[in-house]
């Protein structure tokens, strides 16, 4: 009997957000990872925060996050990102069987996705809505880094949030923690920081966000956003990842790197902020 052909989501951003040539792409990603200089981490990495701009802008910062898992193996990886396009549903996943990048195909962790969806339906009035041929860059942009940093192939759990609601984020995080307990799984929160401020103001806003992340405070992230003291387009994914990591026994967050688009564009009057962090639990 023939194997079922995978319904693969083609990349809408290869060739624009990152290189479509697999050799050049691998070399570029490897360079970002190799050039990253990391502090000593206090435990086992179970979750990351990484930016999601085009590689020429945020690749050097992202390299710091993924260097922390270089050569490690995970059976599954959850990537939680915002959804920048309009959909009426608050929580989305792909309707395809796999994601495609120039570096190869990544199959979905179908059973885990189904379990997350079931738990959402049991505990809330929410569910994971599958969508096909989405144009979302912020989830896919993390995949080449995962393909180059992780030692072995993995199955993907893609979750895209239209909702920035605190309770939705917290419930998703706690469900992820419950479903992923005792599984070999890495969580990646995809987020840029402030958008289009002068670099001086961007630095202030971004440091407020990074301080809350370092303090392991998803509640604090929402509080500074509500006060207008910090912003992140993936604030809900970061918060959900922090809540999930707490459920999984994590105790520390280490900020790995910070920069703005000004470093690559030379324009410091209107920048986007990028941060990288590792969430760890005791070995």
In a domain, 4, yes or no: no
In a domain, 244, yes or no: yes
- pLDDT, one tens digit per residue, over 118-145 is 999 999 999 999 999 999 999 999 999 9
β strands within 112-260, DSSP E: 129-131, 155-161, 185-190, 195-197, 252-260
In a domain, 3, yes or no: no
What's the pLDDT at 1?
38
CA distances from 275 to 31, 190, 205, 281 (A): 18, 10, 12, 20
In a domain, 46, yes or no: yes
In a domain, 189, yes or no: yes
What's the pLDDT at 5?
87
- pLDDT, one tens digit per residue, over 217-273 is 999 999 999 999 999 999 999 999 999 999 999 999 999 999 999 999 999 999 999
Domain that holds residue 17: 9-281
- CB atoms < 10 A from the CB of 27, how many? 12
- For the chain, give the percent of residues with pLDDT over 90: 97
Whether this model's pTM surpasses 0.85: yes
CATH number, domain of 27, equals 3.40.830.10
In a domain, 52, yes or no: yes
In a domain, 15, yes or no: yes
Asked whether residue 214 carries a pLDDT value surpassing 90, the answer given is yes
Asked whether residue 150 carries a pLDDT value surpassing 80, the answer given is yes
Report the number of distinct structural domains present in the chain: 1
In a domain, 2, yes or no: no
């Amino acid at each position: 009997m023939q194997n079922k052909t995978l319904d693969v989501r083609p990349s809408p951003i290869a060739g624009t957000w990152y290189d479509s040539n697999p050799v050049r792409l691998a070399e570029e990603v490897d360079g970002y990872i190799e050039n990253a200089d990391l502090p000593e981490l206090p435990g086992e990495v179970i979750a990351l925060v990484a930016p999601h701009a085009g590689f020429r802008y945020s690749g050097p910062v992202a390299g710091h996050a993924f260097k922390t898992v270089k050569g490690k193996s995970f059976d599954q990886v959850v990537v939680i990102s915002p959804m920048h396009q309009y959909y009426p549903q608050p929580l989305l996943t792909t309707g395809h069987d796999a994601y495609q990048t120039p570096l190869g195909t990544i199959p979905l962790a179908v059973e885990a996705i189904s379990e997350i969806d079931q738990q959402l339906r049991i505990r809330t009035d929410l569910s994971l809505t599958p969508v096909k041929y989405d144009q979302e860059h912020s989830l896919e942009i993390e995949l080449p880094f995962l393909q180059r940093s992780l030692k072995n192939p993995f199955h993907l759990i893609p979750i895209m949030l239209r909702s920035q609601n605190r309770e939705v984020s917290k419930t998703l995080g706690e469900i992820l923690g419950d479903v992923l307990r005792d599984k070999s799984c890495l969580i990646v929160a995809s987020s840029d920081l402030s958008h289009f401020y002068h670099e001086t103001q961007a630095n202030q806003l971004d440091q407020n966000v990074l301080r809350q992340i370092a303090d392991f405070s998803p509640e604090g992230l929402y509080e500074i956003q509500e006060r207008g003291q910090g912003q992140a387009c993936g604030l809900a994914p970061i918060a959900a990842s922090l809540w999930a990591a707490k459920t999984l026994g994590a105790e520390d967050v280490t900020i790995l790197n910070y920069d703005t688009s000004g470093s690559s564009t030379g324009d410091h009057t209107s920048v986007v902020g990028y941060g990288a962090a590792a969430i760890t639990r005791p070995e």
